[in-house]
Chain A
Amino acid sequence: MGMDIDMPRCTGCKLCQIVCSVTNFGENNPKKAGIRIVSKLFTEARYEVIVCDQCGECIDACPFDAIGLASGVVTINQELCTNCGVCVDACPNGALFTHPAVDHPIKCVLCGECERFCPRGVLGALAASGKGEVAD
């Protein structure tokens, strides 16, 4: 599994999205991020955190063999990726994101920066034992 997520504690600040963008793209743009906070305020008084849990379904789904494990992390090979979008549709968590200025889907690379900065410890410990494990 990837990150343990404690959703009721999330306050919707989206610091995770902006730190992801700054870290992985060197840009200030929360849409260029491998994580999303979705508001469920009107119906459930809470926020939802959407991020890859490294389940690996996209690996099998990719028609171009562009997704695989790299150092235990489900990773998109940008050389092989055609941005066809099959993986985006296949992801059971909706955790692969498209961006008009990026020519491949964006996903969590387990860099850990969002976890480090989350003020509420929502994005919990990257359990050493679980890191990189691909669920069946």
Chain B
Amino acid sequence: MYGYAGNILRVDLSSGRVSHEPLTEELVHNYIGGRGFGAYYVYKEVPPGADPYGPHNILVFASGPFAGLFLPSGAKTSISAKSPATGLYGDSNVGGHLAGELKYAGIDALIVGGKAKAPSYLLIDDDRIEIRPADHLWGLGAIKTEEVLKEELGDEFQIATIGPAGENGVVFACINHDFGRQAGRCGMGAVMGSKNLKAIAVRGTRSVPVADIDGLKDVAGVMFRELMEDPSLKVWQDLGLAQVTTWANSIAALPTRNFRQNFYEAVDGLSGELMKETIVVGDKACFACPMATGKLCKASFRGKTVLVEGPEYETTALIGSNCALKSIEEVAFANYVCDELGLDTISAGNAVAFAMECFEKGIITKDDTGGIEARFGSLDAFCDLVQKIAAREGIGDLLAKGVAGAAEVWGEESRRIAIHVKGLEWSGYESRGAPSMMLAYMTCDIGAHHNRAWSVTHDIAVGRDIIKGKAAKVVEFQHVRPLFDCFGVCRLQWVELGLPLEHYAKLYPVVTGRDDSWEDLLVKSERIWNLTRAFAVREREDFGRADDWPPRRFYEESVPDGPVAGFRITAEDLDVLLDEYYEARGWDSNGRPKVDTLTRLGLEHVASELHKMGRIT
């Protein structure tokens, strides 16, 4: 099958059984790859009510048809499972070099099920597949684990690892790859840890067949040329995503002090320019990417100097301004601590900022924190808290359940300021002054993440106080952007450097030999969107509109300062946004897909299952 390796690899860690299944036409036609494959298998194989940490959960590593090919940044692996953070479908993707390597090893998707009896790692060396003991790796940091395995196996192996946080089941434990790249969100590292799987190591030597190699060279050649001739490429190479920080602050979207504010008065200390001047020592790219947004940095704290990849924007927003740290070097050090522990920096920044605000408000005291002076601005407190989280010790055991979990214990006033949707902590755009972005967070299928619909620029373009008419744009983004996660390609070249979508539409037939139009591909993306929603509806009898609701802070407090001081969004506004959104999606007023909608999208079996359960009409 052109654009694919042609195989699904299944590993059952309970029995040690390894098996191959041919990639089916049905799967490729309906779900494309990457996140689409993840959604398909997680819906099909994880039974309702399954414990996310149990052997019946599966962890799917899937590339897509563009991954590993001669085109800009076919670097993305989607990792999917039932999320311990949300109890719903979850996925997270990671760049680097894993996606291509899986395909060179002959694998389009790796499905890991069961649970190993003892700490293990999975070795895939073309056709040689072994579940190996990992006692010598268990307990090591995520980056250290990769270093040890690279020494043992060789640099050609691409490696994904977890740190202590994943071993200990922290709901926001990430999966680390390629020194400093993470599948950060939804606790995929915790699922991996629950299976006693410390790492996977992959090497492959096969070629990936494409339908029209000359056509690929032509289209990709144009894409590379346009990227190289774009004058803004150099800014991305120089500053990477760190350049976003001051911009996000200037548009009043930078999460500050647990999202109390969206403007950080001390942003100059966190700027990309300062980062480049003071701590960057090298640039690093994902596969075949001219942008090289990865920045290798040196940072020192407590007498220790570390090398870390990052911080990128999200880390700077959630650990930097949201915890009110003073300098980009402090953020870089905190980034390193999280990476090594195997914690998602977005959720970790949220969890610490939440604890800091609760401490400030007297909701918790030093008795609760184990003596930690949990004040905004303290890197000491940040490091101490995340260590406790990863070890699940004292207050860390509570925060390891995420802000939603901790708020269950800390009470109503804390729930008001626990910044999450569906149990997943909010990423880097405070959205009181950006209603479509707010709606994007509310309705994102994995919880409060920006990646499905990054529409804050739409709010700025059409009016930040406008509510009506914005749902359509969110829906449009929620179909276009996840397509990239299905293709296994990075979307930054389109989002930030403006590569036209037409190029990707042209790539699809030359790679796969399929004649789907861009509109056809968007329907597939809509199918996947509805399937992950259906997972939630099947999972919980009470799942619905209330799960799309943001924390009370966002509609009870107006923005206190900065460029949109005084701005507020009301609960009525949020209802208008949701009503329009559900209407546009063909969902009922409780946010459940209608039978007709699922049927239109070729999900008759799902419609039938949910209808029989009495969940949809």
B290 in the interface (beta carbon within 8 A)? yes
A45 to B204 alpha-carbon distance, docked (Å)? 25
Highest count of chain A CB atoms <10 Å: which of B206, B208, B233? B206
Measured CA separation A41–B151 after assembly (Å)? 12
Q: Does A131 contact B (CB under 8 A)?
A: no
- Tell me which of B150, B282, B290 contacts A13 (CB under 8 A): B290
**Other-chain contact of A12, B210, B217, B284 (Cβ < 8 Å):** B284
Q: Assess whether B286 is in contact with A29, with CB atoms less than 8 Å apart.
A: no
Q: Is B273 interfacial (CB 8 A cutoff)? A: no
Interchain CA distance A46-B298 in the complex, whole Å? 13
CA A38 to CA B104, docked complex, whole Å: 18
Of A15-23, A54-62, A67-75, A84-92, the stretch lying at the interface with chain B is A15-23
Q: Does B100 have its Cβ within 8 Å of any Cβ on chain A?
A: yes
Residues in A neighbouring B284, C-beta threshold 8 A: 11-12, 41
Measured between beta carbons, the chain B residues less than 8 angstroms from A13 are: 285-290, 292
Q: A22 with B292: in contact, given A12-B285, A28-B207 (CB under 8 Å)? A: no
Given the known interface contacts A31-B104, A31-B205, A39-B155, the answer about A119 and B292 at a Cβ–Cβ threshold of 8 Å is yes
Contact of B294 with A11 in the complex, beta carbons under 8 Å? yes
Interface status of A107 (Cβ within 8 A of chain B): no
Q: Which residues of A contact B237 (CB under 8 A)?
A: 119-120
* Contact of B292 with A120 in the complex, beta carbons under 8 Å: yes
Contact A26 to B294, CB < 8 A, known contacts A12-B284, A13-B286, A100-B205: no
B216 / chain A contacts, CB cutoff of 8 Å: 22, 28
B100 touches A30 (CB 8 A): yes
A20-50 CB contacts (< 8 Å) to partner B? 21-22, 25-32, 38-39, 41-42, 45-46
Chain A residues within an 8 Å CB radius of B224? 15, 117
Separation of A107 and B179 alpha carbons in the complex (Å): 29
User: In chain B between 195 and 248, which residues have their CB closer than 8 angstroms to a CB of chain A?
Assistant: 204-210, 213, 216-217, 224, 227-228, 233, 237
The CA of A41 and the CA of B285, in the complex, are separated in Å by 12
Contact with A along B282-320 (1 / 0, CB 8 A): 111111111110101000000000010000000000000
| Interface residues in A, total, Cβ within 8 A | 31
The answer to whether B282 touches A29, judged by C-beta atoms less than 8 angstroms apart, is no
State the CA gap A9–B237 with chains docked (Å): 11
User: For B206, what are the chain A residues with a Cβ–Cβ distance below 8 Å?
Assistant: 29, 101
A14, A25, A31, A46: the one within 8 Å of B97 (CB) = A14
B33 contacts the other chain (Cβ, under 8 Å)? no
* Chain B residues whose CB sits within 8 angstroms of the CB of A26 once the complex forms: 213
A8 interface residue (CB < 8 Å to B)? yes
Q: Is B281 among interface residues, defined by CB-CB distance under 8 A?
A: yes
Q: Residue among B104, B205, B281, B296 with the most chain A CB within 10 A? A: B205
Contact indicator B208/A28 (Cβ below 8 Å): yes
Q: Are B205 and A99 in contact (CB under 8 A)?
A: yes
A41 to chain B: which residues have CB within 8 Å? 179, 284, 296
Minimum CB–CB distance for B499 against chain A, Å: 14
Q: Contacts of B68 on A, CB cut-off 8 Å? A: 18, 28, 30
Is B539 at the interface (CB under 8 A from chain A)? no
Q: Is the CB of A32 within 8 A of B207?
A: yes
- B178 CB, min distance to chain A CBs, angstroms: 8
> What A residues does B294 contact at CB under 8 A?
11
The verdict on B69 contacting chain A, using a C-beta distance below 8 Å, is: yes
The answer, yes or no, to whether B70 is at the interface (CB within 8 Å) is yes
**Contact between chains at B290 and A22 (CB < 8 Å):** no
CA of A124 to CA of B360 in the docked complex: distance in angstroms? Answer: 56
Q: Is there contact, CB below 8 Å, between A18 and B70?
A: yes
Cβ contact of B288, chosen from A14, A42, A46, A101, cutoff 8 A:
A14
Cβ–Cβ contact A22 & B285, under 8 A: no
Give A39's nearest chain B residue, CB to CB: B155
A30 to chain B, nearest CB (A): 7
Beta-carbon nearest neighbor of A29 in chain B: B207
The 3 closest A-B pairs by CB, nearest first: A119-B290, A13-B285, A29-B207
Known: A13-B292, A21-B70, A39-B155. 8 other contacts (CB 8 A): A11-B285, A12-B284, A13-B290, A14-B97, A31-B104, A119-B228, A119-B237, A120-B283
Q: Enumerate 28 A-B pairs (CB-CB under 8 Å) in ascending A order.
A: A13-B286, A13-B288, A13-B289, A13-B292, A18-B68, A18-B69, A18-B288, A21-B207, A22-B216, A22-B217, A28-B70, A28-B213, A29-B205, A30-B68, A30-B104, A31-B204, A32-B207, A38-B155, A42-B150, A45-B281, A45-B307, A101-B205, A101-B206, A119-B237, A119-B289, A119-B290, A120-B237, A120-B292
